[in-house]
Amino acid sequence: MSGLTPDPSESVDSDASIPTDATPPAVIVLAAGGGTRMKSARSKLLHEVAGHTLLSYALAAATEIGPDEVVVVVGHQRDQVQAHLAEIAPHVRTAVQEQQLGTGHAVQCGLAALADLPALPNEVVVTYGDVPMLTSETLADLLADHRAQRAAVTVLTAVVADPTGYGRVVRDADGRVARIVEHRDADDEIRAITEINSGIYVFDSAVLSAGLGRLTSDNDQGELYLTDVLGYARSTGGSVAAHLIEDAWQTEGVNDRVQLSAMNTEMNRRILHGWMRAGVTILDLASTWVHSSVDLAPDVTLLPGTSLEGATSIGAGATIGPEVTLKDVEVGEGATVIRTHAELSVIGAGAEVGPYARLRPGTRLGGQGKIGTFVETKNARIADGAKVPHQTYVGDAEIGRDANIGAGVIFANYDGVTKSTTVVGDYSFVGSNSVLNAPVTIDSGAYVAAGSVITGDVGPGDLGVARGRQRNVPGWVLRKRAGTKTAAAAQKALDAAAAAESGGGPTGEEAERR
């Protein structure tokens, strides 16, 4: 899941490594809160940033530091959250917090889910499920700092322009953390502090257990505050350290859709910057969206209006856009994709797609192949060098190498009950405006005459013709359309032909034109 870590060039810290003799911590991810301001039938944690749920980022960051156990504390909309967890992180435990009595209570619930362990790990890391920008590097740094400082608790903090609503970090004269005071419980002097509590911590597990046992709800919200464990640690002689990070985005939660949008924009910016530093040219950052799970090679060019989603990968030197959406699409080196919507497809090296192409799942275009303008494909293998250039529907097909499909061909794959496959062999030509009525095989080296409705196989080297024979009705226009400009033009042409016949012959100029 390393693709989920945005902009590695901005966040790598070589001090991040954890001493190898240390035992792995447990991680508790708090995710029981309501998310009412999202005004959504969907749990807040399942809303997405750069194509992945908020919760998936929290779990990726937690899992990447190599914990022994991960516990997610769930509450509101927990059916949805648990179903999602079963999909993305079946290895984690969940703890149910029936009533949201505060962050301290939530961590109590999390610890209860570890009660079957012979012993708690030495350290417990606490994070939130709705803080998607937090990286595993930051968590590893926090843990390393906690160990280096031999602290009882280490809290991740940031300095922000507007600290309204956050808990403030109150420091001693010696710079150690004295306590954390919630905004609602703070006086003006404390509210003036701009260093905030991110809500992400490493605890010595014995201090945590003891501290949680002594919490009271003696505060403005009547909740059990996890932050009070810090004061407890101090009161029992432990030291409380702060790990201050410059990148405040990593501490930001998502509470409403305005913040969700801001988070998406910032995450996308980081992803695009990361790819530009890795050798990708991007013309317009505002209209280019790249999910965190996408992989791009050097010398890829992304033109405006490009959206790359899911497990999409783009090979070196390929040009994508303008106006392209690719979801779970593999694009080969040097390919060109213009004004196209594609899903679950493979586009070969050096191939050309679009403008105005629609690739539905199961399309596999070979190297140097072409899917052109107003072409729709589905479950179609189109071999190397084969071309489907204009206004065609290719459903359930196998097209051989260097075969050429004329304009307006329909691969009629569905008879209303079953779907069947059409095969076109290597180097074959299918004439324009033909219908290939599946199941049918056009063998290698065969031709289909334009305008044919093919219902039977065409053998190797054969020409399949399946259409009405042409019949002309002489004089029809003069009889049936007398008095029209068309009839006049016909009469003029007939007169000229008659004059040419009766001796005079065409003028030199006319002869040349013929």
Spatial contact of 326 and 311, defined as CB atoms under 8 Å apart: no
Q: Based on the shown chain and the rule CB under 6 A, indicate whether residue 306 belongs to the binding site for ligand UD1.
A: no
Task: Choose between 170 and 500: whose C-beta lies nearer to ligand UD1.
Answer: 170
Q: Which two tokens stand for residue 2?
A: 């390393």
Task: Choose between 51 and 102: whose C-beta lies nearer to ligand UD1.
Answer: 102
Alpha-carbon separation of residue 203 from 164, 214, 403 (angstroms): 26, 15, 66
Distance of CA 472 to the CA centre of its chain: 58
| Minimum distance from residue 33 beta carbon to ligand UD1 (Å) | 2
Which residue carries 């750069």 as its tokens?
Answer: 50
Counting residues that bind Ca ion (by CB under 5 A) gives 1
Instruction: List 306's β-bridge partners, or say none.
Output: 324
Q: Which two tokens stand for residue 357?
A: 């192409």
Positions in 174-203 near ligand UD1 (CB under 6 A): 180, 182, 196-199
Positions in 17-36 near ligand UD1 (CB under 6 A): 30-33
Q: Based on the shown chain and the rule CB under 6 A, indicate whether residue 226 belongs to the binding site for ligand UD1.
A: yes
DSSP collapsed to 3 states, 418-439: CECCEEECCCCEECCCCEEECC
Spatial contact of 22 and 147, defined as CB atoms under 8 Å apart: yes
Spatial contact of 400 and 384, defined as CB atoms under 8 Å apart: no
Name the segment binding ligand UD1 (CB under 6 A); options: 85-93, 221-229, 259-267, 364-372.
221-229
| Minimum distance from residue 252 beta carbon to Ca ion (Å) | 9
| Minimum distance from residue 190 beta carbon to Ca ion (Å) | 19
Longest dimension (CA), the chain: 124
From CA 135, how far away is CA 133, in angstroms rounded? 6
Q: Based on the shown chain and the rule CB under 5 A, indicate whether residue 253 belongs to the binding site for Ca ion.
A: yes
Positions in 91-120 near ligand UD1 (CB under 6 A): 97, 100-103, 105-106
Task: Choose between 253 and 274: whose C-beta lies nearer to Ca ion.
Answer: 253
12: DSSP letter: -
Q: Based on the shown chain and the rule CB under 6 A, indicate whether residue 370 belongs to the binding site for ligand UD1.
A: no
Name the segment binding Ca ion (CB under 5 A); options: 97-105, 247-255, 432-440, 499-507.
247-255
From CA 402, how far away is CA 428, in angstroms rounded? 8
Which residue carries 């530093």 as its tokens?
Answer: 277
Q: Based on the shown chain and the rule CB under 6 A, indicate whether residue 132 belongs to the binding site for ligand UD1.
A: no
| Minimum distance from residue 253 beta carbon to Ca ion (Å) | 5
Which SS3 state, helix, strand or coil, does residue 308 take? strand
- Which positions are annotated as active-site residues? 390
Q: Based on the shown chain and the rule CB under 6 A, indicate whether residue 227 belongs to the binding site for ligand UD1.
A: yes
Q: Which two tokens stand for residue 175?
A: 């710079």
Q: Based on the shown chain and the rule CB under 5 A, indicate whether residue 25 belongs to the binding site for Ca ion.
A: no
Q: Which two tokens stand for residue 241?
A: 């350290």
| Minimum distance from residue 348 beta carbon to Ca ion (Å) | 48
Q: From 134, 77, 126, select the one nearest 100 (Cα to Cα).
A: 77
Which partner from the list Ca ion, ligand UD1, none does 194 bind, CB cut-off 5 to 8 Å by kind? none
Task: Choose between 255 and 433: whose C-beta lies nearer to Ca ion.
Answer: 255
Q: Which two tokens stand for residue 229?
A: 């464990």
DSSP collapsed to 3 states, 87-120: HHCCCCEEEECCCCCCHHHHHHHHHHCCCCCCCC
Counting residues that bind ligand UD1 (by CB under 6 A) gives 27
How many beta carbons lie within 10 A of that of residue 298, not counting itself?
12
Q: Based on the shown chain and the rule CB under 6 A, indicate whether residue 128 belongs to the binding site for ligand UD1.
A: yes
Which residue number is nearest to ligand UD1 in terms of Cβ?
167
Which partner from the list ligand UD1, Ca ion, none does 123 bind, CB cut-off 5 to 8 Å by kind? none
Which residue number is nearest to Ca ion in terms of Cβ?
253
Q: Based on the shown chain and the rule CB under 6 A, indicate whether residue 464 belongs to the binding site for ligand UD1.
A: no
Binding region for Ca ion (CB under 5 A)? 253
Binding region for ligand UD1 (CB under 6 A)? 30-33, 73, 97, 100-103, 105-106, 128-130, 166-167, 180, 182, 196-199, 225-227, 253
